[in-house]
Amino acid sequence: MNIVKDLSSYAIPALFFVILCVGLYRGVKVYDVFLEGAKEGITTVLRIIPPLVGLMVAVGVFRASGALDLLVYVVKPVADLLRIPKDALPLVFLRPISGSASLAMLSDIFNVHGPDSFVGRVASTLMGSTETIFYTLAVYFGAVGIKNIRHTLAAALIADFAGIFAAVWICTKVFGG
């Protein structure tokens, strides 16, 4: 185990050294190229920040206003038919929007029900089988300036629903519920 630990502590410096040596060998002005990349990175960050801030504010308002609780109440009869646990529903709605909000919701589920409960297992599986769709679209499409997302959102939502149904079905079959 110490070998892996020792190797991992030298991996990044070794990679840095190899990149520097290869760049110098090929006649690349390594520092100038680094500065150019850093400048492009800052430009990308400045393009990404507005949609990211908007998304975080929207999630905060959504939770604080009680809209999430209302949505859970309205959808509960359908969720009961699909055997989605009521306490996992907020996670179902938050996961496509925000990873940090859904992680906080997962933590709440663990605190109330425990990680080894059926709800905890479904919630864990949901976290692993779904994606933060709106966050990903905002960041990546915002970074490259794409305004028309066409079929991306529909395909991502369909994949998310498949992940939700698969998570519930698999947890029901494996753990009972």
Separation CA 144–CA 69 (nearest Å) = 35
* Alpha-carbon torsion, ordered 7, 13, 18, 21, to 10 deg: -150
Give me the amino acid identity at 124: S
- The answer to whether residue 17 sits within a structural domain is no
- The answer to whether residue 33 sits within a structural domain is no
Separation CA 62–CA 66 (nearest Å) = 7
Kindly report, residue by residue over 55-103, the tens digit of the pLDDT. Answer: 778 878 888 899 988 999 999 999 999 999 999 999 999 899 888 888 8
Contact 84, 92 (CB under 8 A): yes
95 lies in which domain range?
44-175
- The answer to whether residue 77 sits within a structural domain is yes
As for how many domains the chain has, the answer is 1
Q: What backbone phi and psi angles, to 5 degrees, belong to 159?
A: -65, -40
Write out the chain's pLDDT in tens, 177 residues. 678 888 888 888 999 999 999 999 999 999 999 999 999 999 888 887 887 788 778 878 888 899 988 999 999 999 999 999 999 999 999 899 888 888 888 998 999 999 999 999 999 999 999 999 988 888 888 778 888 888 999 999 999 999 999 999 999 999 986
- The answer to whether residue 169 sits within a structural domain is yes
